[in-house]
Structure 1
């Protein structure tokens, strides 16, 4: 992919073990720029493999044991399961920023475009064990929070395996919860046909979707004829127009302004912190977040709140720039440089009556 490219091609794919999809990635290398993966089956200590799948892609992911005790999980399971990730073409790495929002079933990245995009790869819980509604509901609630947080500043695209069919009449509480997210966040979803294949090779349900909120035109498709696909899911694809920021604009956007604490509205700052803290405490007490994730989210909250409550100074942006340069000054400076060069080439004579010391400018 080139930063001059006018289209962004995004794939969502439940790969059912990332260790088996190297041929698939190579096959799709020239057809997609970003891949949202579900069920990579890696443990947390194996996530470095995401950067080794293909020399043209790098990535970021979360595993089923991210933020948990790996030893306990290894005792219960002979292999990894679940997990989400996002891979992107290395040529656009400077435009990609990993976002910490979401649990270990949600991976987010931000794209630094003229109209920034927040991309989310989501893998919701299966229907086993009494349909896991509470865990499913928690994931939907987190997607709602992410949408509310970024909808005013970003185009939003959530791709993934939602383990629930909403393309047909389905009044299960899981389907209704997912539909409520789409309706309340004023998002859209395109239906393209069955994406899940049973053991008999029959396409039986559509459970993989792109749910999006974007002002730009797009097109979606279902890829059914990829020979290297060994998963029981069809990949789905969305294409968006894009315009990358210039390198200097990215550097400027990454500069973090220094907080002027003497200018911070302390009362406003305290009120916002008091409103946000209980939610973080609740997630930590209910073990919805690891300690590391909670600390990262707390630091981000404190930083963002301080920026909102401080009066940042604009350094001279509106100052009048006087144009003092004129042709006479330019000519005099030029003559001065010539005189200095001649004096230097003559071994810098100190005699005040020397011709070079008397040169008139």
Structure 2
């Protein structure tokens, strides 16, 4: 893979040269594209059949089209459109440092594209240190799992005979993080001053010393080209990696079971269905006793689910669960229209630079439309409250169940946090005391009570399980024991991992208890 870096000094004015070198370079790091955030689409129009990730100087304080000034700064990383799934922009960086990751073999690649502050400002050294800190943080975070490539316009030289203050900062930084130039790195100028008197090498492609074999290699510096309008020249290098798609981590496939509405169940039809399906020959048979037991349990589970679907109208044992949406604010046509008007007013205000003041028409319009939106929302909430109170009054005589349900909803507190916890007769308040109280409570639940544990019974059970002869003396389970065990199961509980509830067994009645198939599987 061929990678290059170039300070383009205006991507619009240097678009011919950029598209020319993109024909032979896989990934291009550019600096000083001179575009603002609202001009992002124009960058896409300039680059043919390529995608990019750009950072802009006005990211923190957006500049509108009416306020546009002469462009400056900005960085962008460009790659062909045929490898979009291999590349992912990273959030680290700032408006002059763009970082991407490339999924590749043998290791993923982290490309740090930088445009460092140049000399001439009052606080250049401090700004340069701040930028180095951002790069240091990214390298420290990714160096263990990624191959690191640091490239761009560093505005400092690693080879200048008489180093200036920025050169010294860069060299100290490289020594600290073991950043090196590749072998046989050419010491040639990459920047030619417009006065034609001075040149320097300030554009680099660098790698980490402990990643010498995987890093950038065979770096070369192009000379000045007739189509290149920038003061900088192209620096290229090669990396022996192969892009590949990142393996998608699929979530584990689990079946969601719907809880049957047993009140609608036709019991006789449910029992007859169980008889019918249990008498069918299982589709799978296996000579291994343990595997056959698992297959029998699955067959029984499928039988109970199928019988429930047959006996309960509109019931599906498994499928997508529709999640109820809670806590949403009311919405109607009036709120929707007011929301669109408020968004439009806010957008117009932001595009004009977010001016403030009582005499500003856009600011006053934005506040007025927001006030109208909130008014519509309060009116809708008030109508919902009035309807709820009316339903409570009407249902007091006609529908007692609905009445108490509405009253309970009205009295229920929607606060999810606990202010006071009562534990063993003591009142606990404050986050620390409540947390300690919960710890004590759950520790007591998880610790067996010594008075309720019969050590002799535990030792007898252990002895029976470990001795095959004694284990064979255990009598078979009787139908009466099965019936008693099923009758003690609690109703309206959550299903188990097979989607079965206590009602699946209880509704089967004598059909399921007396079934030889069931006893064998039990």
The interval holding the TM-score normalised by the smaller chain is 0.5 to 0.7
In structure 1, the partner of 2:153 is 161
- The whole-number CA distance in structure 1 between the counterparts of 2:139 and 2:28 is 20
- The whole-number CA distance in structure 2 between the counterparts of 1:256 and 1:230 is 51
Change (3 A) 1:94 1:177: same
- The whole-number CA distance in structure 1 between the counterparts of 2:99 and 2:41 is 17
Q: CA deviation at 1:225?
A: 4.5
The correspondence for 1:23, drawn from 16, 20, 26, is 16
**Would you say how many aligned residue pairs link Structure 1 and Structure 2?**
245
Residues 1:146 and 2:147 aligned together: no
Deviations along 1:78-130, one digit per CA (max 9) or x if unpaired, are 22210011010111111010111011110011000021111111001121223
In structure 1, the partner of 2:177 is 185
Tell me, yes or no, if the aligned pair for 2:223 and 2:233 is still in contact at 8 Å: yes
Deviations along 1:327-354, one digit per CA (max 9) or x if unpaired, are xxxxxxxxxxxxxxxxxxxxxxxxxxxx
- The whole-number CA distance in structure 2 between the counterparts of 1:131 and 1:220 is 33
In structure 1, the partner of 2:204 is 209
- The whole-number CA distance in structure 1 between the counterparts of 2:150 and 2:200 is 19
- The whole-number CA distance in structure 2 between the counterparts of 1:223 and 1:202 is 19
Deviations along 1:304-333, one digit per CA (max 9) or x if unpaired, are xxxxxxxxxxxxxxxxxxxxxxxxxxxxxx
- The whole-number CA distance in structure 1 between the counterparts of 2:251 and 2:138 is 22
Tell me, yes or no, if the aligned pair for 1:157 and 1:210 is still in contact at 8 Å: yes
Unaligned runs of 5+ in 2: 253-522
**SS class of match (2:12):** helix
Q: CA deviation at 1:176?
A: 1.7
Tell me, yes or no, if the aligned pair for 1:84 and 1:107 is still in contact at 8 Å: yes
- The whole-number CA distance in structure 2 between the counterparts of 1:256 and 1:127 is 52
**SS class of match (2:88):** strand
Q: CA deviation at 1:203?
A: 5.6
In structure 2, the partner of 1:172 is 164
In structure 2, the partner of 1:285 is none
**SS class of match (2:34):** coil
Unaligned runs of 5+ in 1: 1-7, 258-361
TM-score, structure 1 as length reference: 0.63
In structure 2, the partner of 1:111 is 102
In structure 1, the partner of 2:255 is none
Tell me, yes or no, if the aligned pair for 2:4 and 2:236 is still in contact at 8 Å: yes
- The whole-number CA distance in structure 1 between the counterparts of 2:116 and 2:135 is 11
The correspondence for 2:74, drawn from 83, 95, 106, is 83
**SS class of match (2:178):** coil
After superposition, where does 1:1-361 map in structure 2 within 5 Å?
8-70=1-63, 78-114=69-105, 115-130=107-122, 132-189=124-181, 190-202=185-197, 204-213=199-208, 214=211, 215-216=213-214, 218-245=217-244, 247=245, 250-252=246-248
**SS class of match (2:149):** strand
- The whole-number CA distance in structure 1 between the counterparts of 2:149 and 2:251 is 26
**SS class of match (1:122):** strand
> Which protein shows a greater Rg?
2
- The whole-number CA distance in structure 2 between the counterparts of 1:252 and 1:99 is 18
Change (3 A) 1:256 1:178: farther
> Which moves more between the two structures, 211-220 or 160-169?
211-220
- The whole-number CA distance in structure 2 between the counterparts of 1:199 and 1:227 is 15
**SS class of match (2:243):** coil
